[in-house]
Amino acid sequence: MGGISHPLFFGGILTFLLYICIFAIGWFSHTLFLHIFSLGSSVILLKRVLLETFLFATAIIENVYDAQALKRLELERSGHNEKQLELQKRVDNKEVNGYKRRIVKTIKSNFPQAFSNMVEFDDWEGLVNNLKQQIK
């Protein structure tokens, strides 16, 4: 009897290969979708963390300015002359400018290189302008 050969997996080897291809395409599509979705979530999270860091840094600098103003007021009340007050103001401004430079340098050097386009500033004024743009 010349019988009929039994196909492998409902239609022979080609059908089996088709199922393998469909599985591979589905797996690849699923992996690609998850990667893109994960990347988008990461960017949103990174933007939010950057914004909060900006707000925190500017709040710290504002507090330093307030503390320096109180210090100068107390120096004035305690009878220091105008020259001493002016010298103290210059020292305070130099100190704050150092803080500002270190904050900008730290943010730029520690930010992931792949997302460096989100950090488009090189100085404190650029950081503040970037913050204003993100808040709008």
pLDDT tens for 90-123 read: 999 999 999 999 999 998 888 888 888 888 888 9
**Which 3 state secondary structure label does DSSP give 4?**
coil
Q: Where are the domains of the chain?
A: 47-135
Spatial neighbors of 100 by CB under 8 A, at least 6 apart, are 61, 123, 124
User: Cα–Cα distance between 134 and 136 in angstroms, integer?
Assistant: 5
pTM: 0.67
pLDDT digits (tens, 9 = 90+) for 21-79: 999 999 999 999 988 888 888 888 888 888 888 889 889 999 999 999 999 889 889 88
DSSP 20-78: HHHHHHHHHHHHHHHHHHHHHHHHHHHHHHHHHHHHHHHHHHHHHHHHHHHHHHHHHHT
Spatial neighbors of 103 by CB under 8 A, at least 6 apart, are 57, 61, 124, 127
What confidence tier does 1 reach under pLDDT thresholds 50, 70, 90? very low
